[in-house]
Structure formats: structure tokens, C-alpha cells
Amino acid sequence: MTNGRTAQQVAKMRTSGLDRLVQGWAVSEAVGHKKPDPEIFRAAAEAVGVPLEGAWVVGDSPHADIAGAHALGLRSVWVSGGRAWAADGYRPTHVAVDVAAAIHHVIRSA
């Protein structure tokens, strides 16, 4: 799931090849809700045909990704890129330096 304009975000997914690696996606413009609104998380789960319960959220935005996951009681991995956590009131379940490490953690935790 991503915030942004549908055409731009879908083009990014197709150009990068990500569209061939995921089951589906939710773009905020198409869904009508932006992260951290719970509705975009629900739309993402619906797009891939899985329940939201038990899901992991992997993201690089403390506010949009991790706060959204926290509000829904979901596990999360913050992709820090080497940054220190600065948000108050919530924390990610796990911190990873990059996306590969984040995905490895989620797979290992399954």
C-alpha cells in the first residue's frame, strides 16, 4: 500500500518489477484514504485476499506506516535507513536497516 496518485504509483511498481512480486496493492488515491487511516490497511488486505489480523506492516514512515500499524494492533517493521527512532507514543515491533532485512525478519517470524 502506498500514498500517492494511482497512475504514478502503479507506473513505479511496474517499472521496478515489484508488480510481479506482490499479490496486489492499494494506492491511496484509488482507495480514497491515505496512511495512516485504517481503511487503506484494510483495502490492502482485501486486495491480496488475506485477513488484516496477523499481518505485518513494513514501512519507512514512522507516522504513516508504523503509527497506522500500531493503531490497528498490527506488528510492524520500520525500515530505518540508519535513522534513529524519534516518535513518541508508539514503537515498531522491529527495526531493520533496509527492506531486505525487514522482509527477512517477517519471514523468519512466520
110 pLDDT above the threshold of 90: no
Whether residue 22 is found in the same domain as residue 71? no
- Per-residue pLDDT, averaged over 59-75, amounts to 98
Domain range enclosing 107: 53-110
pLDDT digits (tens, 9 = 90+) for 26-53: 999 999 999 999 999 999 999 999 999 9
What is the pLDDT at residue 85?
A: 97
Domain end, chosen from 52, 74, 94, is at 52
Whether residue 47 is found in the same domain as residue 5? yes
Whether residue 67 is found in the same domain as residue 84? yes
Whether residue 80 is found in the same domain as residue 98? yes
77 pLDDT above the threshold of 90: yes
In percent, how much of the chain has pLDDT > 90? 99
Burial 30-49 (b: 16+ CB within 10 A, else e): bbebbbbbeebbbbbbebee
| Alpha carbons 21 and 107: distance in angstroms, whole number | 15
Q: How many domains does the chain have?
A: 2
69 pLDDT above the threshold of 90: yes
pTM for the whole structure = 0.92
What is the pLDDT at residue 38?
A: 97
Whether residue 64 is found in the same domain as residue 22? no
Whether residue 90 is found in the same domain as residue 58? yes
Whether residue 70 is found in the same domain as residue 98? yes
Whether residue 3 is found in the same domain as residue 48? yes
